[in-house]
A and B are shown apart, each in its own frame.
Chain A
Amino acid sequence: MVMSRPWGWAALFLPVGACAQGDTLPFPNTVHGHRAIIEVDAEWGSSALTNDLAWGLFTGQRLSTELRLAGSKEVRGNNRAGACFSARGSLAWGQGFLGQERLMPRISMGHQYLLGIEFARDAYELAFLGNAGFEDRTAHAGPARFVAISYQQLGFGVEDRRTGSYAELGVVNGHAFSNGRIHKADLYTAPDGRYLELDLDGEYHRSDTGSTRLNKGTGAAAALHWRHRVKVAGTHAMLSLTATDLGFIAWNGNSLSAGKNGTIRYDGLTVAGIPGLEDLALDKGRVQDSLGLGYRTGSVLQWLPAKLQARLEFGRMVRLWPGQVFHAYSLSVDHWFVPGYRPRALAQGRLFLTRAFHAEAGLGYGGFSGLRAVAGTGTCVGKHLYVGIRSTHFIGVLSGQARGMALAGSLEATW
Chain B
Amino acid sequence: MPRFRSRLLIATFPLLAVLGQACRKDRPQPQWDVDALVPLVKVSLSINDLVPDSLLSADSMGNVSLLYSTELFTLSLDTVLTAPDTSFRYTYALPFPGPVQFPPGTTFNTNDDVTQFDLAPLELTSLIVRSGQLDVVITNMMNGHIIGNLSLPGASLDGAPFQVEMPLPPGSPSNPSTTSASRPLDGYSFDLRGPGLNAVNSLATHLSYANSPDGSTISITNQDSLLATVSYHGIIPQYASGSFGTRSLSIDPSTAELDLFRNISGTIDLAQVDARLKVRNGIGVDARANLLYLRSRNTSTGNEIALNAPITNGPLNIDRAIDLGHSFQAASNTFHLGQGNSNIDQFLENLPDKIDYALDVTINPLGNISNGHDFLYHDSKLNATLEVEIPLRLIATNLVLGKTLDVDLPGSEDAHAWRSGTLHLFATNGFPLSAEVQLAVAGPNGQVISLLGPGGTVAPAQLGPGNTVVAPSASRVDFRISADQMNMIHHYGKLQATVVFNTADQGQHTQILESYRMDLQITLAANYMVNGDE
Contacts and interface: CB of A to CB of B under 8 A. Distances in A.
Contacts of A99: none
A131 interface: yes
Given A113-B22, A128-B34, A268-B521, A280 B45 contact: no
Contact of B39 (A63, A267, A413): A267
A223 to B, nearest CB: 20
Interface stretch (A14-22, A298-306, A358-366, A397-405): A14-22
Interface size range of chain B in the complex: 35 or more
Of the listed residues B11, B36, B405, B426, the one surrounded by the most CB atoms of chain A closer than 10 A to its CB is: B11
B1 interface: yes
B39 A194 contact: yes
B296 to A, nearest CB: 26
Contacts of A36: 8
A127 B37 CA distance: 13
A233 interface: no
A36 B8 CA distance: 10
B435 to A, nearest CB: 14
B36 A60 contact: no
A359 B367 CA distance: 125
Nearest to A113: B22
B525 A17 contact: no
A196 B524 CA distance: 12
A274 B50 contact: yes
Contacts of B7: 381-382, 385
A135 B43 contact: no
B11 A387 contact: yes
A132 B33 contact: no
B484 interface: no
A17 B14 contact: yes
A15 B45 contact: no
A277 B41 contact: yes
B2 interface: no
B30 A133 contact: no
A15 B21 contact: yes
A36 B1 CA distance: 14
B18 A130 contact: no
Interface string A123-139: 00001111111010000
Nearest to A381: B7
A321 interface: no
B55 to A, nearest CB: 14
Contacts of A272: 43, 49
Contacts of A354: none
B39 A193 contact: yes
Nearest to B45: A273
Contact of A194 (B32, B34, B426, B528): B426
Contacts of B426: 192, 194
A15 B8 contact: no
A95 interface: no
Contacts of B61: none
A85 interface: yes
B37 A130 contact: yes
A299 to B, nearest CB: 25
Nearest to A2: B30
Contact of B30 (A38, A57, A281, A387): A57
A182 B24 CA distance: 30
Interface string B36-48: 1111111101001
Contact of A193 (B19, B29, B42, B523): B523
B96 interface: no
A194 B523 contact: yes
Given A267-B521, A273-B43, A60 B19 contact: no
B17 interface: yes
B525 A192 contact: yes
A68 B410 CA distance: 25
B141 to A, nearest CB: 75
Nearest to B7: A385
Contact of B38 (A63, A193, A276): A193
B42 A130 contact: no
Of the listed residues A18, A132, A283, the one surrounded by the most CB atoms of chain B closer than 10 A to its CB is: A132
Nearest to A413: B8
Interface string B386-421: 000000000000000000011010100000000000
B454 to A, nearest CB: 16
B404 to A, nearest CB: 10
B95 interface: no
Interface string A311-342: 00000000000000000000000000000000
Contact of A130 (B12, B34, B43, B45): B34
A65 interface: yes
A14 B39 CA distance: 48
Interface in A247-294: 266-274, 276-278, 280-283
Given A194-B426, A387-B11, A415-B4, A277 B37 contact: no
Given A274-B45, A415-B4, A268 B522 contact: yes
B15 A40 contact: yes
Nearest to A39: B15
Interface in A214-240: none
A128 B32 contact: yes
Interface in B510-534: 521-525, 528
19 contacts: A17-B11, A38-B12, A56-B30, A60-B28, A60-B29, A62-B30, A63-B31, A128-B34, A130-B36, A189-B37, A192-B426, A193-B424, A193-B524, A271-B42, A273-B45, A273-B49, A282-B40, A382-B4, A411-B11
Interface of A: 13, 15-19, 36, 38, 40, 56-65, 68, 85, 87, 111, 113, 127-133, 135, 189, 192-196, 266-274, 276-278, 280-283, 381-382, 384-385, 387, 411, 413, 415
Given A40-B19, A268-B521, 15 more contacts: A17-B15, A38-B11, A40-B18, A58-B30, A60-B28, A60-B29, A64-B32, A111-B19, A130-B528, A192-B424, A194-B39, A194-B523, A196-B38, A276-B43, A282-B41
Interface of B: 1, 4, 7-8, 11-12, 14-15, 17-19, 21-22, 27-43, 45, 48-50, 405-406, 408, 410, 424, 426, 476, 521-525, 528
